[in-house]
Chain A
Amino acid sequence: MAKRHTVTLHHVITVYNNMFDHMDSMMRALAKKKTQWKEDLFFAVILARHKLSKYYTEVTPTMGMLLISALILDPFRKLRSFRK
């Protein structure tokens, strides 16, 4: 996203939400698996989600309102992302 030459500010929250959703779904799928590599993958996903949440908490206090405003000003989404 940082290398794009167009406006990408309104995609930040969307990308974060998609990544969190994807990790949650992976964790739900791998939670009851007993295979070794699946357990390892489950542990790796947990760590990745923890790291992502750490990044998210670093970003949102300073740029939270800005990102939300950009997302609302996206005329093709508007408040649709918040309705979910």
Chain B
Amino acid sequence: MENEYGAKHRRAPVIKYKKVLSSNLVPSATASGFYQSYFDLYDFSSDEEEYLTPNNVPETTPGRSDRAARLLTATRLHFNSPPETPKNWGQINPNLNDYHSDPMEISSTFWILDITDWWPQQEETHSKYADLSNVARDIFSIILHSVGVEASFSLGRDVIGWRQSKTASETLREKVVIRQFPRANNGILAGTDRELDTPHTENDSEMIKEVEERQWHRMAKVHDFLEMWQGRQNLCSTQKESRSQNKQMTAVGYISDTEASVKATWSLFQHDGAAACKLSEISPLPPALSAKDLPGGRTQILNVRRIRRINRLPVESDDDSTPESISDTDDWLNWNGDLDNRNDSEDDCAANDESDIGPINGIEDPECPQQQKLRAVPNVPGLVRLTRKSKRKAEKLLVMVNAVETRSNKGGKKR
């Protein structure tokens, strides 16, 4: 500790003096008993800096004049003189502020001990300042440090560390205020003392009313529950009494009555038989869009089915199938939704047989052996397999188209 302390503080040589009992006018170096030590210019731990400033240090360098030596000895004698004892020592009244009127310690500068030694000495010697030494002990036991002073100017750093940088200024202000509130009010937290609370605003009063209403609402709920429970108890008691008196009295709703339960079960849950099955055939559409409400009695579900079949056939089908598809659309537009009168289904089957178009939807007839042989062929939806007859028709159609084109070209050239 001393090495670090010495490295930080500059020291100046100082001469300290011991108490000289003998009064030598020309004291020698040994007689005066001075010894050299070091004085820290920035050390305020003792009071010596006030009196041992470099200006007051006597020069001991040899070669000085005798005048200086005389002044030096006179100064030493002045400082080393014993303290003046008060003449009326036994008449000191402790109530008359004798501590300040006593010039004993002030005059004897170099005789001063450290303050930590002076007050214990007063206490040990049972001097007139023995009681005051207790006060001094309590006060000087406080260790002085500068942390609190600096912390009063850096409250924000205590709340927010160096790694916290996204806290808003308003949040920081609120945190500091919350931390400082108990300090300023002797540890009283906000809300515990009504006098320290800020006056309530309109919003606060409304919130308080809402909270009170909620509490009352909860109490009302509990009260209602108690009433219901009590009413249920009364009802059970009345039912038991009525049951003991008359078994036919089941209008109150007593469940254990067998006659009432039998009547209720079989009379209410009797099914309609075939009528219940018809309910499943009803269109899932809402009643506003049912078949009866639509004009012509048409349904949209069957329309979608017809559209899917029309879109697959017309482009790749034969000449015979195209007008049939158009007729399908006509039938679709004029169809009344009757499932039993679908004559066009038979026409479709005939057209498929004439055009020799294989199963395109993967739907196979288990009764047809030819289709069972073709199971190895992958069923691709929309695929049309051409036969010899369809190829011939296609070739004829191409010849006719070419002939028409040649005629039109000749006519254009003539014009």
Q: Which residues of A contact B (CB under 8 A)?
A: 1-2, 4-12, 14-15, 55, 58-59, 66, 69-70, 73-80
A sample of 28 cross-chain residue pairs with beta-carbon separation below 8 angstroms, ordered by A number, consists of A1-B144, A2-B144, A2-B145, A2-B146, A4-B45, A6-B45, A6-B46, A6-B114, A7-B115, A9-B139, A9-B144, A10-B115, A15-B44, A55-B149, A58-B152, A59-B149, A66-B139, A69-B135, A73-B119, A73-B136, A74-B115, A75-B105, A75-B115, A76-B109, A77-B47, A77-B106, A78-B99, A80-B106
Chain B nearest Cβ from A1, distance in angstroms = 6
Residues of the A chain whose Cβ atoms lie less than 8 Å from the Cβ of B35: none
**Does B274 sit at the interface, judged by CB under 8 A?**
no
Contacts of A70 in B (CB 8 A): 139-140
- Taking a contact as CB atoms under 8 Å apart, the answer to whether B100 and A78 are in contact is yes
How many Å lie between the Cα of A58 and that of B43 in the bound state? 24
> B106 touching A4 by the CB < 8 A rule?
no
Most buried by B among A6, A66, A77, A80: A6
A75 to B147, CA, bound (A): 28
Q: Give chain B's interface residues, CB within 8 Å of chain A.
A: 43-47, 99-100, 105-106, 109, 112, 114-116, 118-119, 132, 135-136, 139-140, 142, 144-147, 149, 152-153
> What are the residues of chain B within 8 A of A2 when measuring CB–CB?
144-147
Name which of A4, A5, A10, A73 has the most chain B CB atoms within 10 A of its CB: A73
Residue of B nearest to A15 (CB): B44
| Closest Cβ–Cβ distance, residue A20 to chain B (whole Å) | 16
In contact, B149 and A76 (Cβ under 8 angstroms)? no
| Most A Cβ at <10 Å: residue of B44, B114, B147, B149 | B44
Give bound CA distance, A25 to B51, whole Å: 22
A83 to B109, CA, bound (A): 19
Chain B residues with CB under 8 Å of A15's CB are 44
A11 to B132, CA, bound (A): 19
List residues of chain B with CB within 8 A of the CB of A69: 135, 139
Nearest B residue (CB) for A54: B153
Query: What B residues does A6 contact at CB under 8 A?
Result: 45-46, 114-116
With a cutoff of 8 Å between Cβ atoms, the chain A residues found around residue B140 in the complex are 7, 9-10, 70, 73
With beta carbons under 8 angstroms apart, the residue of B44, B132, B152 that contacts A8 is B44
Say which residue of A1, A9, A55, A78 sits within 8 Å of B142 (CB atoms).
Answer: A9
Q: Ordered nearest first, which 3 A-B pairs have the shortest CB separation?
A: A6-B45, A2-B145, A4-B45
Instruction: Give A80 to B50 CA distance when docked, in angstroms.
Output: 13
Of listed A5, A11, A75, residue having the most chain B CB within 10 A:
A75
Say whether B144 contacts A75, CB under 8 Å.
no
Q: Which residues of B contact A77 (CB under 8 A)?
A: 47, 106
Known A77-B47, A77-B106; further 4 A-B contacts with Cβ < 8 A: A6-B46, A6-B114, A9-B140, A12-B144
CB nearest to B103 among chain A residues? A78
The reply to whether A1 and B132 contact each other, CB–CB distance below 8 Å, is: no
Q: State the CA gap A78–B132 with chains docked (Å).
A: 13
A8 in contact with B106 (CB, 8 Å): no
